[in-house]
Amino acid sequence: MSDRYEYVPHRLLRCPVRDIASGVEGELMAVINENVSDSGREHWVELAYIRRACGREFTTALSNIESAV
């Protein structure tokens, strides 16, 4: 298997975004292509790391974010 994760450039980095699934807004801190493989079969997912106003971060699927501006 290759590396477990890699950072991905994204046009909304450091911009206000909204998680469509939960409605929570925050700043997009990173997009990471993460290897969540098990049993030797590779499976990669793109996760968005969002920091809320309170400072706590959460992740969601990259496809779940939209600009909050």
Res. 2: pLDDT tops 80: no
Domains plus CATH for the chain?
A: 5-67 (2.30.30)
Percent of the chain with pLDDT over 70: 96
Torsion of CA 38, 39, 43, 49, to 10 degrees: 10
The answer to whether the pTM exceeds 0.95 is: no
- Per residue in 44-53, is it b (16+ CB within 10 Å) or e — as a string? eeebbebeee
